[in-house]
Amino acid sequence: MSDLIKTPKILNSKECLALSPKCNSQKIKTRTAHVGDNITIRRALPQGNRKTIGAWCFLDHFGPIDLTNTEGLRVGPHPHIGLQTFTYPLAGEILHRDSLGSKQKIQPGQVNLMTAGKGISHSEESLPDTLLHGVQLWIALPDSVRHMEPNFIHYETIPSLNLANLRINILAGEFLNSLSPVKVYSPLVALELIALEDTTTTLSLNPKFEYGILPLIGTIEIAQEIVDIDTLLYLPFGRPSTPVRIQQGSRILIIGGEPFQEDILIWWNFVARTKEEMIEAANAWNKHTAFGEVKGYPGKELVPPPLL
Ligand code: MN
């Protein structure tokens, strides 16, 4: 995906640090954003009052949207630096192409992980007549690896386990000794909870992690808060567990990680440390001096907005 806001400001993660464990929680309303030409999505991160949760620095929840007889999702070639994109569909299929020559269809239950490192470009398009529902997140790369060579990995299957009447998919990191194969560079986790029946249970947490909870279908009651589909609930680090109550059929995304210690800047499709790096990356994309070429995408590439 790509940030299509016409005149985005550079966002600085320093503006909102991790909350103290003394705070119970923070409710963050998702905001409306657009991807491709015609698709409206919910953007949970970054927000004015919350830029990062662990190394997670961007969270788009798209759909469910019926794309029958529409152009579908069309995100033309665009560049990334300094981050990993993490794509997880619940319904529908998306075709990914990138400047490394990858051409990969992703289906529900699978993960696409693209590590931009020093620079990559990609496009994304839904396959015809699909009902589309899913999430795409970005993970900020730590300074020690953010200039690495880019790569792309498609994960066909993701580990899962059953807890009470919950099915838990371990999308990234580790949960109850189940380890996701998804290659990340910071201590973090991403889980999907699917309630097979109405469930009340206790969820174990890593006390070193701060967390974000976002319903994808239905609602969840967690940490004495009822959280709906338009809300990201932020929990500060310091908890070993939390009670949860989930209704049958609900699907809940939980992300977490150790509070990211580096100040990062987020602008358009870039995560960097200085404005100069942003300008350099935007110029390189405009002049085609970096980021390679995405072959086969039937449409135009994206143009960066003016950098304010
Ligand atoms: Mn993208």
With a cut of 90, say whether residue 30 has pLDDT above it. Answer: yes
The CATH fold of domain 11-287: Jelly Rolls (2.60.120)
Mean pLDDT to the nearest integer, 17-36: 82
With a cut of 60, say whether residue 6 has pLDDT above it. Answer: no
Using pLDDT thresholds of 50, 70 and 90, give the confidence band for residue 53.
very high
Q: Which of 105, 94, 102 is nearest to 150 (CA)?
A: 102
How confident is the model over 240-298, as pLDDT tens digits?
999 999 999 999 999 999 999 999 999 999 999 999 999 999 999 999 999 999 999 99
User: What does the pLDDT read at residue 16?
Assistant: 63
Lookup result for tokens 């400001």: 9
Cα(4) to ligand 1 centroid in Å equals: 11
How confident is the model over 148-176, as pLDDT tens digits?
999 999 999 999 999 999 999 999 999 99
Cα(85) to ligand 1 centroid in Å equals: 7
Cα(115) to ligand 1 centroid in Å equals: 11
User: What does the pLDDT read at residue 49?
Assistant: 86
Protein residues placing their CB within 5 Å of the ion ligand 1: 1-2
Q: What is the average pLDDT value for the chain, to the nearest integer?
A: 93
Cα(232) to ligand 1 centroid in Å equals: 22
With a cut of 90, say whether residue 60 has pLDDT above it. Answer: yes
DSSP letter, residue 15? G
Whether the bond between 64 and the residue before it is cis, its omega within 30 degrees of 0, is yes
With a cut of 70, say whether residue 101 has pLDDT above it. Answer: yes
Q: How many angstroms separate the CA atoms of 32 and 47, rounded?
A: 11
Cα(286) to ligand 1 centroid in Å equals: 16
With a cut of 70, say whether residue 136 has pLDDT above it. Answer: yes
> What are the start-end ranges of the E strands in 7-55?
11-12, 26-29, 31-35, 39-45
Cα(245) to ligand 1 centroid in Å equals: 34
φ, ψ (nearest 5 deg) of residue 169 = -90, 130
Contact of 218 with 196, CB cutoff 8 Å:
no
Q: How many angstroms separate the CA atoms of 124 and 78, rounded?
A: 10
Cα(241) to ligand 1 centroid in Å equals: 34
Cα(196) to ligand 1 centroid in Å equals: 33
Cα(34) to ligand 1 centroid in Å equals: 13
User: What does the pLDDT read at residue 112?
Assistant: 98
Cα(123) to ligand 1 centroid in Å equals: 7
Cα(78) to ligand 1 centroid in Å equals: 6
Cα(84) to ligand 1 centroid in Å equals: 9
Cα(234) to ligand 1 centroid in Å equals: 25
Cα(277) to ligand 1 centroid in Å equals: 18
User: What does the pLDDT read at residue 36?
Assistant: 74
With a cut of 60, say whether residue 4 has pLDDT above it. Answer: no
Mean pLDDT to the nearest integer, 131-148: 97
With a cut of 70, say whether residue 5 has pLDDT above it. Answer: no
Q: Which of the pair, 101 or 1, is modelled with greater confidence?
A: 101
The amino acid that residue 101 corresponds to is G
How confident is the model over 234-254, as pLDDT tens digits?
999 999 999 999 999 999 999
